[in-house]
Amino acid sequence: MRETVAAQLLRLNSEFYQTLAVPFSQTRARLQPGIVRAVGGLRPEAAVLDLGCGPGSLARELARRGHTGRYFGVDASEPLLAEARRKSLPPNFAFSQADITRPLWEESLGQPFDAVFAFAVLHHIPGLELRARLARAVRRTLAPGGEVTLSTWSFLGSDRLRSRIQPWEAIGLTREDVDPGDYLLDWRRGGTGLRYVHHFDQTELRNLAQDAGFEVIESWRSDGEGGRLGLYQRWASVADRNGRGP
């Protein structure tokens, strides 16, 4: 994918989450079942990095559970972060604005994290190069023994969601400008908008993990119609698993 096209798609998604933050947040009042499963075994004292934290849904759930470790939520959208900060949370919970598609975003995070969560994030990152750079950066944020859990949107498994796919010409692009698996989806709640989304399968996610120095230690499907619209994976550093540290 050309850099100019990737930049255009990033701007498209940024505009969406700036202008439609409130109606989007209203659809995230409850955690998806796959996320509930993903955090089920989280140690209360674990240091948590929540990438693409949005309106703070995961933070509120962890606070409800009495999480005592450091929680740090990161998102590029200030309106979504404003929604997150409206909730009363313990002092060990914090949020910050950051664009994780830019180089070296992770350098300001401070101490490493035991658990990194990136729910519904990766499918908004256009191009293999950007996704690979992000995966390597995430690996650098992990403490020894830390793990990454992520999810991507399997929207092609729903006829209703497939009907929301729009032609690339709607934003001045063609199918030849984007990569296989790239789609343009519309939004119809509380306003209208368009988002770039990449559709992953397990093999593509596994290859991304391996190229960034991770081992996939668990994969599962959950959420939505028939419990199949979310693809989840849990990653651990290969070097760490081999006892050499991250």
Least confident segment among 59-73, 140-154, 226-240: 226-240
Q: Is 244 a residue whose pLDDT tops 60? A: no
- Please name the residue that has the structure tokens 């830390």: 146
Radius of gyration of the chain (CA): 17
Q: What is the percent of the chain with per-residue pLDDT over 70, rounded to a whole number?
A: 97
CA distance 166 to 176: 15
Q: Is 61 a residue whose pLDDT tops 70? A: yes
The DSSP 8-state label assigned to residue 229 in this structure reads S
Domain contains 90: yes
CA distance 71 to 92: 6
Q: Is 70 a residue whose pLDDT tops 50? A: yes
Least confident segment among 10-24, 100-114, 177-191, 220-234: 10-24
Structure tokens at 42: 């989280």
* 64 vs 87, more confident: 64
Q: Is 246 a residue whose pLDDT tops 60? A: no
Domain extent for 95? 3-156+199-241
Domain contains 164: no
* 71 vs 108, more confident: 71
43-53 confidence digits (pLDDT tens): 999 999 999 99
Domain contains 170: no
Burial class (CB in 10 A: 0-12, 13-18, 19+), 233: buried
Q: What is the CATH number of the domain that holds 222?
A: 3.40.50.150
Question: Nearest-CA neighbor of 75 among 13, 153, 33, 141?
Answer: 13
Q: What is the percent of the chain with per-residue pLDDT over 90, rounded to a whole number?
A: 83
Domain contains 186: no
Burial string for 56-93 (b: 16+ CB within 10 Å, else e) reads: bbbbbebbeeebebbbbbbbbbebbbebbbeeebeeeb
Domain contains 173: no
Domain contains 80: yes
C-beta separation of 195 from 19 below 8 A: no
Domain contains 179: no
Domain contains 182: no
Report the pLDDT value the prediction gives residue 190, as an integer from 0 to 100: 79
* 53 vs 238, more confident: 53
Domain count, the chain: 1
Question: Nearest-CA neighbor of 203 among 176, 180, 226?
Answer: 180
* 135 vs 110, more confident: 135
Report the pLDDT value the prediction gives residue 135, as an integer from 0 to 100: 97
Strands 93-97 and 71-75: parallel
139-182 confidence digits (pLDDT tens): 999 999 999 999 999 999 999 999 999 999 999 999 999 999 99
